[in-house]
Chains A and B, each alone.
Chain A
Amino acid sequence: MKSMTKDQWFTFVDGLIQDDTRDIIGVQSKGKRFHFGFLESVQDLRLDHDVTLLPPKKFLLPTHEELFRFDISKLFEVSCSKPDRPQILIGVHPYDVIAIQQMDAVYQNPPVDDIYEARRKNTLIIASDILSIADRSFAGSLGNHVVTSGYDLLVTDLGDTVVIDEGTTAGRDLLKDFGEFQEALTPEIERVKRLRAELPARYKHKLKIDKFRWTELLLNNYTHPIWDENARKCFSCGTCTLVCPTCFCYDVDDVMDMNMKEGKRVRTWDGCLLRDFTLIGSGEIFRRAPVDRYRHRFYRKGVYLPRRFGFVACVGCGRCATQCLSDIADPLNVMNTLAASSVEARMDLPIPHEEPHRQKGPVFMPKSATIIRKEKMTKTDTFYEIELDSKEPLGHQPGQFVEVSIFGIGEAPISIASAPEAGRSSFELLVRRVGNVTTHLEALNVGEKVGIRGPFGNGFDVERLRKRDLMFIAGGCGMAPMRSLVNYVLAHRSEFGEVSLLYGCKDPDSILFNADLNVWKTRSDIVQKFTVDYCQDGVCWDGNIGVITNLIPLVDFDPVKTAAIIVGPPVMYRFVIKELKNRGMTDENIIVSLERRMKCGVGKCGHCQFNGVYVCLEGPVFNYGDIKDLPEAF
């Protein structure tokens, strides 16, 4: 431990500010509250703050951050300049240090967010011990009032002297280069120890349940009345997530410069409490009810992140409690209420098969690709064959998806419609016109460029399907990912048992992949049944009319030997699964592919999450048995 006189401390900080090579960010007053801001003078630095309005996450994941720039007047031009300006954060309280460690764990977990990583590498943290306790904080109950790692320097302002603990060699070097200091004296160290030891008792608010029991408590209370009661008072204003040091979901959008030539892709803060957080192009909102959004935040903190990373993602800073107008955001109140009135209705909320990810390199940078074939399939659907300009094969499995970029418009997740074939460098997509990106895609022609990221997610596990009887059940444009699997199976036909395909559409005009269907019809080794919801007058149609479940009784299958693979609109699953189970099929034999708002593709942005599952990582293909008990899945 080192110590400085107050004057030495001021000289040290002043030296940092005068040195132009870094941004020096420190806690300053803002009205009656505090915030982290660029320090212009050492006089502005406060170490007696209770808590800042926003956590220091805003300097690691800025509210508005450029990911890369593009120029749409050129064929395909992107440039990325990673954040390289070093910065020092001064005055970070222990609970915020812990929050930054959690953010590091999430963002630097593979696939690594390279932009975050670059910023983080250039950041030094000078933490400070808590002198004043925030009114609503309960960090003491969580043990987050002190830290032993995660900082480069840790300072304790004792009034006359400042005691400094060196956390890293970078911190030690900083001290050496800019400061004059002494070895801390034993009485000084004793004072620091006492200050820390006395902290927990000074907290007004105390948690009545140990943080290691949060997960258990929440799993027992998914149906507790508190969610509804509190959600009725919720504005869906996102305040609790924005001010939270462990909420770091984001949105991505393209912004054009006024010259309409250049632009940038930016990420901005987003939050799961906001209504449109789960909105997809077709207009579906997956977490529409305020209560589902309200509850999700607590489960993310107390169940989903702990399951993946082993930490409770609440540090007890009290920011949400202070800033929520309706005062419903405080985890302390919620946890204490649950502990006192647990309904003990156990739900497991499991996360299926976490698998290592192959994604490497910059996560946001799309690869240049060219449209080499385009075919209008229906009024709203267009088929594309696309090739990466590097001529490398995409390297996908059936059922995976890619993110397609049109610079200036944005990015959309599209499932891959072609089967992987050895030696083939192109892949195929089916795009339905529903939002901005897909509308613009429709206008692009052969020879034009798009950006491609991916493939992402888990596709169909063809190894597990081998030797089985297969029943493909596709609805609407669910036929696109299904086609990749059907073609794969037909190309390796002898490795599979009986195969049947049931396909339902709105009307005969919306049937996709007619060319493929005609080829498949000539084969005797795949049973095919078709249905439409209705058939317009004067249109020739020899298939069924009615819902897709009507087709199931038309196929003779052995429910024990058969695996059913279902891909379709969200509404279809419940009915099809019910029908299959009536026929004696078990959950283990049902495979589904789910649609969500996959935005980042790498399990960070949070949009595609249902309960603890990231569709972009663990999905979109799931074994029904793994997710059937997750309330947000269907």
Chain B
Amino acid sequence: MKPRVAVFDFSSCEGCELQLFNLEEKFLDLIKIVDVVSFREGMKEHSDLYDIAIIDGSIMRPMDAERLKVIRKNAKTVVAIGACACIGGVNKLRNQWTSENVKREVYGDADLEGNPLFDVFPAKAVDEVVKVDYYVPGCPIDRAEFTKVITAIAMGREPRLPNYPVCVECKLRENQCVFELGMFCLGPITRAGCNAICPTHRDGCAGCRGFLEDANMDALKDVLRKYNVPMDKWLKRFDMFNCKIKREK
């Protein structure tokens, strides 16, 4: 029996779901090993009977949290895909302001009182609301990594994310370090798995896959100082996908 897969989106640009279609002919191979039973971006049909739920996007509202809890209950396995779902990503930038301030900034004086669509709490990663079994991090996700994780789950094998920094993949691709090119990079503290795509294209890593559990932040700060990177620049880059600042609960 092929595992039944459903894809759900929350607050995100849905680019990670688009990445699944970007698999092109490999997507056709993928649906030979799994049955896709729900995927708003790709099909009209929907079923609540699924084994694997794939979640794209951050959780921003009580109504989203409720929907997510139902999905968790239905699914045997929950896979978070993309920076928004895995770590909150850019959505968490918004947590630097109160919800009131954000609403005023975006919607001005419009009357949103009592409208559940606008009832928001600070942005959360999926695992801040329900248990997540596996992650495919990144903004957007790496297609090869996604396939690897799904085939592993289909094999009944636990997919493991690399526990080492992006530098490893950068070295394997024999890139010149972007620090040497006059730029800066969060690669030394960021979880690998993207095949160092940004440094390979001569751009510093922005940390979209999340920082490593035992990332050496102090060492990176020393390096940034050594290379004279202005602090406001690197602080902004730290926050882009990994914003920890919170104004309200």
Q: Which residues of A pack against B, CB within 8 Å?
A: 30-33, 35, 53-54, 63, 232-239, 242-243, 256, 258-260, 269, 271, 274-276, 290, 323, 325-326, 408-409, 435-436, 439-440, 443
Measured CB to CB, the nearest residue on chain A to B177 is: A323
Given A31-B176, A325-B188, are A259 and B29 also a contact pair (CB < 8 Å)? Answer: yes
Residue B174 lies at the interface, judged by CB distance under 8 Å to chain A: yes
A63 touches B218 (CB 8 A): no
Task: Give the residues in chain A near B172, CB-CB below 8 Å.
Answer: 63, 242, 269
6 A-B pairs (CB sep. < 8 Å): A232-B219, A234-B216, A236-B216, A256-B151, A326-B219, A408-B157
B220 touches A232 (CB 8 A): no
Q: How far, in whole Å, are A408 and B216 apart by their CA atoms in the complex?
A: 34
B176 touches A325 (CB 8 A): no
Given A274-B163, A409-B155, are A326 and B177 also a contact pair (CB < 8 Å)? Answer: no
Given A260-B151, A440-B156, are A237 and B165 also a contact pair (CB < 8 Å)? Answer: yes
Measured CB to CB, the nearest residue on chain B to A36 is: B174
Complex A-B, nearest 7 residue pairs according to Cβ-Cβ distance, in ascending order: A237-B167, A258-B29, A242-B171, A235-B188, A237-B165, A233-B219, A274-B164
B219 touches A234 (CB 8 A): yes
Residues of chain B from 203 to 247 with CB closer than 8 A to chain A in the complex:
214-216, 218-220, 222-223
Q: How far, in whole Å, are A236 and B168 apart by their CA atoms in the complex?
A: 10
Residue B154 lies at the interface, judged by CB distance under 8 Å to chain A: yes
B151 touches A237 (CB 8 A): no
Residues of chain B from 63 to 101 with CB closer than 8 A to chain A in the complex:
none
Partner among A33, A258, A325, A435 whose Cβ is within 8 Å of the Cβ of B30: A258
Q: How far is the CB of B214 from chain A (nearest CB, A)?
A: 7
Q: How far is the CB of A432 from chain B (nearest CB, A)?
A: 16
Measured CB to CB, the nearest residue on chain A to B213 is: A275
B171 touches A258 (CB 8 A): no
Q: How far, in whole Å, are A401 and B132 apart by their CA atoms in the complex?
A: 36
Known: A259-B29, A259-B32, A260-B151. 19 other contacts (CB 8 A): A234-B216, A235-B189, A235-B219, A238-B168, A242-B171, A243-B171, A256-B151, A256-B155, A258-B26, A258-B147, A260-B154, A275-B214, A290-B216, A325-B223, A326-B219, A326-B222, A326-B223, A439-B158, A440-B156
Q: How far, in whole Å, are A93 and B236 apart by their CA atoms in the complex?
A: 43
Q: How far, in whole Å, are A260 and B151 apart by their CA atoms in the complex?
A: 8
Q: How far, in whole Å, are A276 and B163 apart by their CA atoms in the complex?
A: 7
Given A325-B177, A440-B156, are A235 and B220 also a contact pair (CB < 8 Å)? Answer: yes
Partner among A235, A276, A323, A436 whose Cβ is within 8 Å of the Cβ of B165: A235
Measured CB to CB, the nearest residue on chain A to B147 is: A258
Task: Give the residues in chain A near B165, CB-CB below 8 Å.
Answer: 235-238
Q: How far, in whole Å, are A30 and B177 apart by their CA atoms in the complex?
A: 12
Q: How far is the CB of A202 from chain B (nearest CB, A)?
A: 23
Measured CB to CB, the nearest residue on chain B to A260 is: B33
A233 touches B222 (CB 8 A): yes
A238 touches B29 (CB 8 A): no
Q: How far, in whole Å, are A325 and B180 apart by their CA atoms in the complex?
A: 10
Q: Which residues of B pack against A, CB within 8 Å?
A: 26, 29-30, 32-33, 147, 151, 154-158, 163-165, 167-168, 171-172, 174-177, 179-181, 187-189, 214-216, 218-220, 222-223
Task: Give the residues in chain B near A326, CB-CB below 8 Å.
Answer: 219, 222-223
Q: How far is the CB of B181 from chain A (nearest CB, A)?
A: 8
Task: Give the residues in chain B near A63, CB-CB below 8 Å.
Answer: 172
Q: How far, in whole Å, are A260 and B33 apart by their CA atoms in the complex?
A: 8
Q: How far, in whole Å, are A31 and B199 apart by their CA atoms in the complex?
A: 13
Q: How far, in whole Å, are A54 and B171 apart by their CA atoms in the complex?
A: 8
Measured CB to CB, the nearest residue on chain A to B175 is: A53
B33 touches A258 (CB 8 A): yes
Q: How far, in whole Å, are A409 and B83 apart by their CA atoms in the complex?
A: 28
Measured CB to CB, the nearest residue on chain A to B33 is: A260
Q: How far, in whole Å, are A377 and B172 apart by their CA atoms in the complex?
A: 44
A260 touches B216 (CB 8 A): no
B188 touches A237 (CB 8 A): yes
B157 touches A436 (CB 8 A): yes
Q: How far, in whole Å, are A412 and B32 apart by their CA atoms in the complex?
A: 30
Q: How far, in whole Å, are A610 and B58 apart by their CA atoms in the complex?
A: 44
A260 touches B155 (CB 8 A): yes
Task: Give the residues in chain A near B158, CB-CB below 8 Å.
Answer: 435-436, 439
Q: How far is the CB of B210 from chain A (nearest CB, A)?
A: 15
Q: How far is the CB of A34 from chain B (nearest CB, A)?
A: 10
A35, A258, A443 — most chain B CB neighbours (10 Å): A258
Measured CB to CB, the nearest residue on chain A to B2 is: A260
B33, B154, B165, B219 — most chain A CB neighbours (10 Å): B219
Q: How far, in whole Å, are A274 and B33 apart by their CA atoms in the complex?
A: 34
Task: Give the residues in chain B near A275, CB-CB below 8 Å.
Answer: 163-164, 214
Task: Give the residues in chain B near A269, CB-CB below 8 Å.
Answer: 172
Given A256-B151, A260-B151, are A32 and B167 also a contact pair (CB < 8 Å)? Answer: no
Measured CB to CB, the nearest residue on chain A to B189 is: A235
Q: How far, in whole Å, are A325 and B205 apart by their CA atoms in the complex?
A: 15
Partner among B29, B164, B168, B179 whose Cβ is within 8 Å of the Cβ of A325: B179
Task: Give the residues in chain B near A53, CB-CB below 8 Å.
Answer: 174-176
B163 touches A233 (CB 8 A): no
A234, A326, A435, A440 — most chain B CB neighbours (10 Å): A326
Task: Give the residues in chain A near B222, CB-CB below 8 Å.
Answer: 233, 326
Partner among A31, A35, A232, A409 whose Cβ is within 8 Å of the Cβ of B157: A409
Q: How far, in whole Å, are A33 and B175 apart by their CA atoms in the complex?
A: 9
A238 touches B171 (CB 8 A): yes
Task: Give the residues in chain A near B30, CB-CB below 8 Å.
Answer: 258
Q: How far, in whole Å, are A295 and B200 apart by their CA atoms in the complex?
A: 30
Q: How far, in whole Å, are A435 and B164 apart by their CA atoms in the complex?
A: 20
Q: How far is the CB of B174 from chain A (nearest CB, A)?
A: 5
Q: How far, in whole Å, are A476 and B53 apart by their CA atoms in the complex?
A: 38
Q: How far is the CB of B130 from chain A (nearest CB, A)?
A: 24
Q: How far is the CB of B157 from chain A (nearest CB, A)?
A: 5
Given A260-B154, A326-B222, are A239 and B171 also a contact pair (CB < 8 Å)? Answer: yes
B164 touches A238 (CB 8 A): yes
Task: Give the residues in chain A near B155, CB-CB below 8 Å.
Answer: 256, 260, 408-409
Measured CB to CB, the nearest residue on chain A to B218 is: A232
B216 touches A235 (CB 8 A): yes
Task: Give the residues in chain B near A242, CB-CB below 8 Å.
Answer: 168, 171-172
Measured CB to CB, the nearest residue on chain B to A406 is: B157
Task: Give the residues in chain A near B147, CB-CB below 8 Å.
Answer: 258
Measured CB to CB, the nearest residue on chain B to A58 is: B174
B147, B171, B172 — most chain A CB neighbours (10 Å): B171
Task: Give the residues in chain B near A235, CB-CB below 8 Å.
Answer: 165, 167, 188-189, 215-216, 219-220
Q: How far, in whole Å, are A436 and B171 apart by their CA atoms in the complex?
A: 28
Task: Give the residues in chain B near A30, CB-CB below 8 Å.
Answer: 174, 176
Task: Give the residues in chain B near A323, CB-CB below 8 Å.
Answer: 171, 177
Q: How far is the CB of A304 from chain B (nearest CB, A)?
A: 23
Measured CB to CB, the nearest residue on chain A to B156 is: A440
Q: How far is the CB of B40 from chain A (nearest CB, A)?
A: 25
Q: How far, in whole Å, are A258 and B188 apart by their CA atoms in the complex?
A: 32
B26, B147, B154, B163 — most chain A CB neighbours (10 Å): B163
A35 touches B174 (CB 8 A): yes
Task: Give the residues in chain A near B219, CB-CB below 8 Å.
Answer: 232-235, 325-326
B216 touches A33 (CB 8 A): no
Q: How far, in whole Å, are A32 and B178 apart by their CA atoms in the complex?
A: 12
Q: How far is the CB of A297 from chain B (nearest CB, A)?
A: 15
Task: Give the residues in chain A near B177, CB-CB below 8 Å.
Answer: 323, 325
Measured CB to CB, the nearest residue on chain A to B181 is: A31
Task: Give the residues in chain B near A33, CB-CB below 8 Å.
Answer: 176
Measured CB to CB, the nearest residue on chain B to A33 is: B176
Partner among B29, B32, B156, B168 whose Cβ is within 8 Å of the Cβ of A237: B168
